Amino acid sequence: MTTRHHALTTGLKAALLTTVMTVAGSAAWAQDGKTITTVVKISGIPWFDRMETGVDLYAEEHPEMTISQVGPATADSAQQLQIVQDLIARGTDALAVVPMDPGVLEGLLKRAIDRGTIVVTHEADNQVNTMANIEAFDNAEYGTALNERLAECMGQEGKWTTFVGSLGSRTHMQWVGAGEENAAKYPGMELVDPNNESFDDANGTYETAKEILRKHPDIKGFQTSAGNDVLGVGRAIEEAGLTGKVCLVGTGLPNPSAAYLDSGAITAIGFWDPQKAGMAMNEVARILLEGGELTDGMDLGVEGYESVSVTQGAGDGKLVVGNGMVIVDKDTYAERLF
- Cβ closest to other proteins, residue 263 vs residue 323: 263
Assign residue 200 a region (left: φ > 0; alpha: ψ between -120 and 50; beta: otherwise): left
Say whether residue 211 binds other proteins (CB under 8 A). yes
Say whether residue 120 binds other proteins (CB under 8 A). no
Say whether residue 73 binds other proteins (CB under 8 A). yes
Rounded to the nearest angstrom, the gap between the alpha carbon of residue 150 and the centroid of all alpha carbons in its chain is 21
Nearest approach in angstroms of CB 147 to other proteins is 19
Let me know: does 98 contact 45? Beta carbons within 8 Å: no
Nearest approach in angstroms of CB 205 to other proteins is 10
Answer for which of 56, 194, 294, 338 binds other proteins (CB under 8 A) is: 194
Total residues in contact with other proteins, by rule CB under 8 A? 48
Nearest approach in angstroms of CB 194 to other proteins is 8
Of 81, 106, 62, 293, residue with least CA distance to 70: 81
Burial bucket for residue 260 (CB in 10 Å: 0-12, 13-18, 19+): buried
Of 222, 214, 227, residue with least CA distance to 265: 222
Say whether residue 195 binds other proteins (CB under 8 A). yes
Of 46, 47, 87, 45, residue with least CA distance to 68: 87
- Cβ closest to other proteins, residue 16 vs residue 59: 16
Say whether residue 14 binds other proteins (CB under 8 A). no
- Cβ closest to other proteins, residue 73 vs residue 104: 73
- Cβ closest to other proteins, residue 57 vs residue 258: 258
Nearest approach in angstroms of CB 250 to other proteins is 16
Write the CA distances from 139 to 14, 102, 146, 228, 266, integer angstroms: 41, 19, 11, 19, 22
Say whether residue 202 binds other proteins (CB under 8 A). yes
Say whether residue 197 binds other proteins (CB under 8 A). yes
Answer for which of 3, 5, 116, 331 binds other proteins (CB under 8 A) is: 5
Q: How far apart are CA 286 and CA 36, in angstroms?
A: 8
Let me know: does 221 contact 249? Beta carbons within 8 Å: yes
H-helix segments, 93-200: 102-114, 139-154, 170-183
Q: Point out which residues bind other proteins (CB under 8 A).
A: 1-2, 5, 8, 12, 15-16, 19, 42, 44-46, 73-75, 167, 193-197, 199, 201-203, 206-208, 210-215, 217-218, 228, 231, 235, 239-242, 245, 255-256, 258-259
